[in-house]
Amino acid sequence: MPNEIEDHKTTFLENIDVLLAEHKVEEAVEALDIEKRSSLELNGSGNASSTEASSYKPAFLKRKAMLEDQLVEITKQPSVGTVELKEALSFLLKLRKGPLAHQLMLKAYGSHLRKSIKSFLPSCSIYPETYSATLSKLVFSENAPSSETVSALRAASICVQASLSHCSMLESQGLKLSKLLMVLLRPYIEEVLEMNFRRARRMVFDLAENDGTLPLSPRYVSPLSAFATSSDSVLIDYGTKFMFIAKDIVEQLTLVAISHFGGTILTRISQLFDKYVDALIKTLPGPSEDDNLMEHKEVIPFRAETDAQQLALLGSAFTVADELLPMAVSRIWSTPNESKEPGSGATENIVSTVSNTIEFKDWRRHLQHSLDELRDHFCRQYVLNFIYSREGKTRLDARMYLTGKGEHLSWDSGPFPSLPFQVIHFL
């Protein structure tokens, strides 16, 4: 057994030497990582003699250091491309050299930036009016996040906050630029908002897609959990995912961005709720054969067939509209008051008080209109199923009320309204 272990060590070191000589860094990184995780000696928990440990571990670390040097040399090559640079840095991260990888990334980006600036400087004397725009593009554009990401929305919000704060400091010198700046910034901020809400709409229509556990606080999840059953958790996932989408957007906004674009954001969130309700309606059975034919053309990942499922769906939608969504956007309604509190700094004088022109009751009325559509759809299909059988025969007519006799009546057990009717009556 000891001989086998010793042979393995010798073979491993020889293989690493070959990989290093051939500059096969990816294979060398994988081999070192596997050996590090499987070797008790390298982890400091082996039972080997001190002589063996002192000879093998230094040999292992020596080859690891040689591999790190090769990766560093790759990042310093003038002709290294973006893909090769990212690969080398990722290998350093795998070797647990995070600080070194970060330092090399900054150096590589700085070197690339200096070369780009140096190449465009000769044209500045010919086109001086493009100097600032070109320089800004070189410095910021490469690392700018895509407009449809929440990172872009956060960056745009911070840009508004910082820019208007500088304008506020200049007002003491008689330079009032905040209104002009907002005129220039508004198209770009609205573009980022539009792209983010487009992404949100796509996510709403893909509500059944499993994204794993969403980082949503219990105060948003617990009210929806009341409608959960062992077999119908997907209904709760619909509401949870929608709340995550809406809350994630609102959390990226700064106070100043909310004060200027709060009305627009609230309108878009209510429109997003409309899409959420549309997605829920598609899970309900259609009230007519034509509707069913249309539904078969679309892929519906889940359909609420039973009364319990349909009532859980209605309950989760009303909980989102009446409780959770207002709680998520409460930060937008409270922003004007927060901005006027002492200590709010340079932004005190630049908060727009006219942007949140949407009244809370009007916003809630829009949500209620969407809920009414969901409830009406449910009631129509339920009443039709109650009156007509699957064969198209009438199960309910006036004679049942006159004679008290019918195939589907159970007067002896107590003629109470159906459970869905009782629930809808109190919604």
In this structure, is residue 396 part of a structural domain?
A: yes
Predicted confidence band at 13 (pLDDT cuts at 50, 70, 90)?
confident
Q: Are residues 167 and 297 in the same domain?
A: yes
- Residue 167 and residue 105 share a domain: no
Question: Do residues 189 and 110 both lie within one domain?
Answer: no
For residues 114 and 234, state if they share a domain: no
Q: What CATH number does the domain containing 108 carry? A: 1.20.58.1210
Domain boundary among 120, 135, 160: 120
pLDDT digits (tens, 9 = 90+) for 167-196: 888 888 888 888 888 898 889 889 989 999
Residue 363 shares a structural domain with residue 254:
yes
Can you tell me the mean pLDDT for 21-43? 82
Domain that holds residue 303: 150-426
Residue 133 within any structural domain of the chain? no
**Contact between residue 224 and residue 239 where contact means Cβ atoms under 8 Å apart:** yes
Which spans in 206-286 are helix H?
A: 218-225, 233-251, 255-281
Going by pLDDT thresholds of 50, 70 and 90, the confidence category of residue 140 is low
Domain count within the chain: 2
Over the stretch 238-295, which tens digit does the pLDDT of each residue have?
Answer: 888 888 889 989 998 888 888 888 888 999 999 999 999 998 888 887 655 445 445 4
* Those residues with Cβ within 8 angstroms of residue 8's Cβ, 6 or more apart along the chain or in another chain: none
For the cut 80, the answer to whether the pLDDT of residue 46 exceeds it is no
Within-domain flag for 136: no
Does 174 lie in the same domain as 113? no
Report pLDDT for 51: 47
What's the gap between Cα 319 and its chain centre? 22
Please, what is the average pLDDT of the chain?
76
Residues 106 and 189 in one domain: no
260 and 358 part of one domain: yes
Query: Helix axis angle, 150-170 relative to 178-205, nearest 10°?
Result: 170
On whether residue 416 sits in a domain, the answer given is yes
Does residue 143 lie within any of the structural domains? no
Q: Is residue 422 part of a domain?
A: yes
pLDDT tier for residue 391 given thresholds of 50, 70 and 90: low
Report if residue 138 sits inside a domain: no
Residues 370 and 422 in one domain: yes
Q: Based on the domain organization, do 83 and 167 belong to the same domain? A: no
Domain boundary among 120, 138, 172: 120
For residues 78 and 173, state if they share a domain. no
pLDDT 10s digits, 85-135:
888 888 888 888 888 888 888 888 888 888 877 887 776 666 665 666 666
Task: Judge contact between 367 and 277, C-beta under 8 A.
Answer: no
Q: Which amino acid is at 184?
A: L
Residue 129 domain-assigned (yes or no)? no
Residue 353 confidence class, pLDDT cut points 50, 70, 90: very low
What distance in Å separates the CA atoms of residue 91 and residue 25, rounded to the nearest whole number? 8
- Residue 323 is given by DSSP the state I
Residues 262 and 410 in one domain: yes
